[in-house]
Amino acid sequence: ALEQLDPAVRAALEQAIERVRAASAVQVPPPTTTTLAPGALVHQRWQPVRRVGVYVPGGKAVYPSSVVMNVVPAQAAGVKQIALASPPQRGEDGRVHPVILAAAKLLGVTEVYAMGGAGAIGAFAYGAASLGLDPVDVVTGPGNNFVAAAKRAVAGRVGTDSEAGATEILIVADDTADPRLVAADLISQAEHDEQASAVLVTTSMGLADAVQAEIGGLAAQTLHAARIEVALTGPQSAIVLVDDLDAAVDFSNAYAPEHLELHLADPAAHRFVHAGAVFVGPYSPVSLGDYLAGSNHVLPTGGQARYAAGLSASTFLRPQQVIEYDRDALAEVSDAIVALATAEVLPAHGEAVRARFTA
């Protein structure tokens, strides 16, 4: 598959790998040691999970970029075993799409399964002996609402990233924004899926009207015009007029979009705290983040950006504390340990400490 890959696509994938690898490398925290007293040490180290299952969707489109976005951070974290699943393709005799296979080859991933949707998530979580698939420790990757529901169902048995469901874009813009660019960016995300959400929040009625007019012309020219029309006319998409920037900030933070674009004279990006990723200015479109910004495009949807983050090396790392006290350091706190153990009516806790200082 790699030998047959379009050279331009291969070069683009290699560039994306390089950029995401550079951004992921700095996400791995160094080990630390805290000295609480002489001889009283608490170390913190970061352990990679052993085995990861990466899901790469492939229903309405093919996403080699998702191979990069999932595999590279796992490799940066030090994960040793990575399995990949992507839906079988009718035109490929039930095999994984060759572009997905080529991307996996570029990254050295050799364990690849032709399976998709919720079933793939379940197979990762519980294993599939008939396929020789061992269970994984963490499942990551974007997908539709069924994939998101499956992740929710297996959470607890395995770790998961955020439930990256149908894509979302929220654009906050004022009258300085270029309506053609705003319309193009709304359309770019609407072409993912009929359930995609595309929302413009603006203080300018003039901009709202201009964007609406631009959408009509631009959408009709695209390959997926019918899909885009369904997404943009659905209840999940809208143009919202607000009185001022404060109201726009409040709306955005309550919505907590997957992608937030700011087309503002004064972006004030620090005020927009709830978003999977923030794209500032007319030259930072979501499409850049989808492919070559170096950031990750696997992001929380459905309001989860209020408490969840996008995929990164830290998704695959477990902070682990190592406690190391010597005799004098333990003796210094032994009376306090006994006092707390007595208060909690757990006398054996205190005796376990006393035993170290009695013959």
- The b/e string for 108-133 (b: 16+ C-beta within 10 A; e otherwise) is ebebbbbbbbbebbbbbbeebeeeeb
The backbone region for 108, taken as left when phi is positive above 0, alpha when psi lies in -120 to 50, beta otherwise, is left
Query: Is the CB of residue 170 less than 8 Å from the CB of residue 278?
Result: no
C-alpha dist (Å) from residue 179 to 41, 111, 176, 246: 58, 45, 9, 21
CA 158 to CA 313: how far, in whole Å? Answer: 17
Instruction: Out of 259, 263, 274, 297, pick the active-site residue.
Output: 259
Which structure tokens are listed for 354? Answer: 């006393």
- To the query of whether residue 261 is one of the catalytic residues in this protein, the response is no
Return the closest-CA partner of residue 76 out of 311, 292, 288: 311
Residue 220 CA, chain-centre distance (Å), reads 31
Active-site residue (options: 192, 258, 261, 274):
258
SS3 of 86, please? strand
**CA separation for the pair 152, 97 (Å, rounded):** 27
Let me know if 259 is a catalytic residue. Answer: yes
Helix spans in 128-272 (H): 145-154, 179-190, 205-220, 225-233, 245-255
Catalytic residues: 258-259
